[in-house]
Amino acid sequence: MIWVSWRQQRMEALLGGAVIAALTTLLALTGRHIAGAYGHAHLAGCSLGRPQPASCGDSVLHFSARFSNLVNLTNWFNMVPLLIGILVAAPIVLEFEHGTHRLVWTQTITRRRWLSTRLALALGVAGAAGLGFSLLMTWWRGPFDHLGGRFDTSAFDFEGTVPIAYTVFAVSVVLAVGTILRRTLPAIVIGLVSFLVLRLGIEGWVRYQHYLAPLHKTWPVGAPAPAGEAAGYINSNGLTVTGSPAAAKRMFNSCRVTDTGPRQLQGVSGCLRHHHVLQYAIYQPAGRFWTFQGIETGIFAALSLILLGLTVWWVNHRLA
Amino acid sequence: MSIALHTAELAKRYGSTWALRHCSLAIPEGRVAALVGPNGAGKTTLLQLAVGISQPTHGRVEVFGWSPHEQPLLVLSRVGFVAQDHPLYKGFTVSEMLRLGRKLNPRWDDQIAVERLDRIEIPLSQRVGKLSGGQQAQVALALALAKRPELLLLDEPVAALDPLARVEFLQSLMDAVAAGGLTVLLSSHILADLERVCDYLVILSSARVRLAGDIEQLIAEHHLLTGPRERAGRMAAETQVIQERHSERQSTLLVANERNVSDPAWLVEHPSLEEIVLAYLGQPAQLPSTNSPRLEVAS
pLDDT tens digits, residue range A141-185?
999 999 989 999 999 999 999 999 999 999 999 999 999 999 999
Calculate helix-pair angle for B94-104, B110-119, nearest 10 degrees. 160
Residue B198 covered by a domain: yes
Its ipTM equals 0.87
Give me the mean pLDDT over the B181-186 stretch: 94
- Domain check: are B66 and B173 in the same one? yes
pLDDT for the residue B194: 80
The least confident of A39-53, A96-110, A294-308, B280-294 is B280-294
Domain residue ranges in chain A: 2-212+288-317, 215-286
Taking alpha carbons only, the member of A134, A147, A99, A64 closest to residue A297 is: A134
**Domain containing B46 — which CATH number?**
3.40.50.300
Q: Considering the domain boundaries, does residue B295 fall inside one?
A: no
- Do B72 and A106 lie within an 8 Å CB cutoff? no
Q: Could you report the per-residue pLDDT of A25-60, keeping only the tens digit for each?
A: 999 999 999 999 998 888 888 877 666 777 787 888
**Cα nearest neighbour of A99 on chain B:** B87
Q: Which residues of B touch A102 (CB under 8 A)?
A: 53, 81, 83, 87
Cβ separation A107–B100 shorter than 8 A: yes
One-letter amino acid at A306 equals I
Q: Quick one: pLDDT at residue A274?
A: 85
Lowest mean pLDDT among A16-25, A111-120, A183-192, A216-225: A216-225
Model pLDDT for residues B86-96, shown as the tens digit of each residue: 999 999 999 99
Q: What pLDDT is recorded for position B258?
A: 61
Bridge-based pairing of strands B151-155 and B183-188 is parallel
pLDDT of residue A249: 85
Question: Could you tell me which of A140, A132, A136, A134 has the C-alpha nearest to residue A38?
Answer: A140
Q: Which residues of A touch B88 (CB under 8 A)?
A: 100, 103
Q: Compute the nearest-CA separation of B77 from chain A (Å).
A: 5
Mean pLDDT, residues A232-247? 87
Whether residues B104 and B241 share a domain: the answer is no
CA distance linking residue B43 with residue B21, whole number of Å: 12
Neighbours of B287 (CB within 10 A): 10
Judged by CB atoms within 8 Å, which residues 97-156 of B form the interface with A? 99-101, 103-107, 140, 143, 147
Mean pLDDT of B36-49: 93
Choice between A319 and A127, residue whose per-residue pLDDT is larger: A127
Whether the CB of A99 is below 8 Å from some CB of chain B: the reply is yes
* Domains identified in chain B, total number: 2
Task: Sheet with B222-228: list strands edge to edge.
Answer: B240-246, B250-256, B222-228, B267-269
State the nearest Cα–Cα gap between B73 and chain A, in angstroms: 6
- Residue B286 domain-assigned (yes or no): no
Give burial (CB, 10 Å; 0-12/13-18/19+) of B102: middle
CB-nearest to A106 from B76, B92, B96 is B76
Q: Is the pLDDT of residue B290 over 70?
A: no
> In the predicted model, what is the mean pLDDT of residues B122-129?
96
Residue A91: closest C-alpha in chain B: B89
Average predicted confidence (pLDDT) for chain A: 92
Burial class (CB within 10 angstroms; exposed 0-12, middle 13-18, buried 19+) of B39: exposed
Give a yes or no: residue B59 inside a domain: yes
Which residue in chain B has the smallest CA separation from A319?
B54
Gap between the Cα atoms of B140 and A301, Å rounded? 40
Q: Are residues B179 and B246 in the same domain?
A: no
On whether any CB of chain B is under 8 Å from the CB of A318, the answer is no
B57, B70, B82, B104: best mutation site toward chain A, by most A Cβ within 10 Å? B104
The set of residues, in sequence order, having a beta carbon less than 8 Å from that of A29 and lying 6+ positions away, is none
Within 10 Å of residue A202's Cβ, how many Cβ atoms?
17
Co-location of B28 and B151 in the same domain:
yes
Per-residue confidence (pLDDT) for residue A262, from 0 to 100: 63
Residue spans of alpha helices (H) in chain A: 2-8, 10-40, 56-73, 79-98, 100-105, 111-140, 142-148, 153-156, 162-181, 184-201, 207-210, 245-255, 262-274, 289-317
Which residue in the set A98, A108, A317 is minimally distant from B105, CB to CB?
Answer: A108
Q: How far apart (Å, rounded) are the C-alpha atoms in residues B139 and B128?
A: 8
Residue B1 has pLDDT above 80, yes or no: no
Give mean pLDDT, residues A245-271: 78
Answer yes or no: do B13 and B158 share one domain: yes
B164, part of any domain? yes
**Which DSSP helix (H) or strand (E) runs through B193?**
helix B191-195
- Please state at what angle helix A111-140 crosses helix A79-98, rounded to 10 degrees: 160
Q: Does residue B202 sit in the same domain as residue B223?
A: no
Same structural domain for residues B136 and B182? yes
* Secondary structure class of B251 (helix, strand, coil): strand
8-67 of A, contacting B, C-beta below 8 A: 8, 11
Q: Is the pLDDT of residue A72 over 50?
A: yes
Q: Does one domain contain both B7 and B117?
A: yes
Mutate to test the interface with A, among B14, B84, B100 (most CBs of A within 10 A): B100
pLDDT at B295: 41
DSSP assignment string, B169-190: HHHHHHHHHHTSS-EEEEEES-
Kindly state whether B79 is in contact with chain A, defined as any CB-CB distance less than 8 angstroms: yes
Pick B244 or B297 by higher pLDDT: B244
Has residue B213 been placed in a domain? no
Secondary structure E strands in chain B: 3-14, 17-28, 32-36, 58-63, 79-82, 151-155, 183-188, 200-205, 208-214, 222-228, 240-246, 250-256, 267-269
Q: Are B41 and B29 in contact (CB under 8 A)?
A: no
Confidence of residue B241 (pLDDT cuts 50, 70, 90): confident
**Chain B within 8 Å of A69 (Cβ-Cβ)?**
no
CB-based contacts of A169, cutoff 8 Å, min separation 6? A81, A85, A195, A198, A300, A301, A303, A304, A307
Mean pLDDT calculated for residue range B241-267: 83
CA distance A84 to chain B (A): 21
The domain containing residue B101 runs over which residues? 3-206
How far A314 CA lies from chain B's nearest CA (Å)? 12
| CB A173, CB A191: distance < 8 Å | yes
